[in-house]
Structure 1
């Protein structure tokens, strides 16, 4: 990779090459966790001075998963779920968070000592919007204080926005694949599930996957097995028809 004039940020060609590498690996994946791992490994080389990188996610407001270029920072990211850290701050505020020198950082009193103990002396976190249910941050860690600067924030923001779009696409593919598998599994319960799916499809004018999702939501809300929900629905429709 060509050297930078000031070492502060990537040039246009380097950024384009990084985005191509990121895109190629993620569009080839149908597994969301694999895509996260590729993102963490690729962004390790995103900015001069970075020693490690990670991805922190929240799903429906709850801790979801962490992917990291190194196990030590994965543990560090998981610590953020219990003790506030730069990634969680970026997620909460929806803005870039930078600490050029963690030794003098006051914002995260529990997280910062753990970071310093792992050799992290600077951090830059950028929020990632994936969809209505999943949000997160990409976190860049440096071993040297001052290695991450405000000049690198634009590149970090660009990477985060691009990664969010790619992760949303992977999540959609994974969700559709999982839904198909769920339909197949549901049909193995027997004819009553098939009948219930057909009823919901007719009532709501929706696809089989959406109909199954309606049944599953009802089962969770009522705290009863899916087959029982299906049997109740079929029985109710038959009573209305006979009446």
Structure 2
């Protein structure tokens, strides 16, 4: 289903984004969330390929791409540190390349992308109150493929994606925190049973080993559970 605001009834856009909201709500984790966004972009926008790059621990990663070529374009920019994705991520600004054959801002990047058959590029930041969390990248094999309507819809999609990614990350962090507490509790139980310690003393030992070995408390607990020994 292709959507064009100037040609389709407004109900079509409402239905399309309602469908996206349901898909994002039902997505299991960040990976499925960004994959749903990339696939939805193919339906809603005039793009032949799409992808999402996320900021992970201060560096961009590529969790979703509708074609290996998109991942190749992303990886090239990340390695070289130049290109619209890098600039959009740094400046939290949308960047449009109408034709890679005539693009002069990033000549090496443009030559690379042109060699892959891509002529038009639209990079839209995924932004939250905390800053830019990623980039939605849209690509077309035709020059000057993205209209003002496409850019407007891309911004709406990016807003949906930003909220969905932030929510998925928060849920994953909470799940990891719960798992860590369970592991630490199991490790404390082992120490308490084996050495006749109370809970406070068992936790203090785990914490000391974590600090002395510069190892996360969760990993110290996991090793104790797996090997019945504390890290050396």
TM-score normalised per structure 2:
0.77
Q: 1:56 aligns with which of 44, 49, 53?
A: 53
Give yes or no for contact 2:3–2:44 (8 Å, CA) kept in 1: no
Match of 2:70 in 1: 73
The unaligned stretches of length 5 or more in structure 1 are: 201-211, 231-243
Aligned CA distance change for structure 1 residues 226 and 166 (closer, same or farther; 3 Å): closer
Distance 1:130 1:57 in 2: 13
Equivalenced residue count is: 213
- CA offsets, 1:165-210, max 9 Å, x none? 111112222221222122222223224699459989xxxxxxxxxx
Bigger CA drift: 106-115 or 93-102? 106-115
SS in 2 for 1:82: helix
| C-alpha RMSD of the superposition | 3.4
Distance 1:94 1:197 in 2: 48
Match of 2:41 in 1: 43
1:31 Cα deviation after fit: 1.6
The unaligned stretches of length 5 or more in structure 2 are: 193-197, 222-232
Distance 2:90 2:216 in 1: 36
1:229 Cα deviation after fit: 8.8
Aligned CA distance change for structure 1 residues 2 and 147 (closer, same or farther; 3 Å): closer
TM-score normalised per structure 1:
0.73
Distance 1:88 1:156 in 2: 18
